[in-house]
Amino acid sequence: MSSVITDTGIRSGTQGITCMRHEIVIKGRFPSYNEYTKVQRGNRYAGNKMKQDYQHICEWQIRQQLKGKKFRKPIKIHITCYEQRKNRDLDNVASFFFKVFLDALVKCQVIPNDNINNVTHISGTAAVDREHPRVVVIIEENENGRTQDVRKDNNRQ
């Protein structure tokens, strides 16, 4: 199956499905959740300032790179964290980043809320770039426009 980048996103060559895809690059190193927790435990105001500072960085990049885009359908988000070294856990880096980034998307009115009705999937990978640490975010609109409905099995209660 071939894919072609278009102005509106990626179009699958064999199935004819168009998926809106947007990339945002946020330069720099983000703190891990453990680093945030340590600051928060030392002084809750310093912890809140740390979160707000990184959220403002995300907001500025979102406004610059999405240029007023608003998502009407649920979205999927994938991040790639480019770290300077391999010594940090992806789950710690990703958890703090997802918190501030999703809050920034809501603050910039790109999505109405960051609940599961609007964000149906988040995932992350890690890579090493010693010279240019950054987070690359890929946002895709959910093709069917719905969240997946998982129902409880009646036999398991």
Could you please state the CATH topology (level 3) that the domain comprising 21-141 is classified under: 60s Ribosomal Protein L30; Chain: A; (3.30.1330)
H-only helix segments in 67-123:
90-107
Sign of CA dihedral 53, 56, 91, 82: negative
Residue with tokens 């998307």: 105
Tell me the C-alpha to C-alpha distance, in Å, between residue 108 and each of 7, 50, 115, 135, 137: 22, 19, 16, 19, 16
| Element (DSSP H or E) covering residue 37 | helix 33-42
Residue 120 — φ and ψ, nearest 5°?
Answer: -95, -15
Residue matched to tokens 């997946």: 148
Task: Please state the domain extents for the chain.
Answer: 21-141
pTM above 0.95, yes or no: no
Say what the pLDDT of residue 142 is: 83
pLDDT for res 6: 31
Which parts of the chain have pLDDT scores under 50? 1-17, 150-151, 153-154, 157
Whole-number pLDDT of residue 16:
47
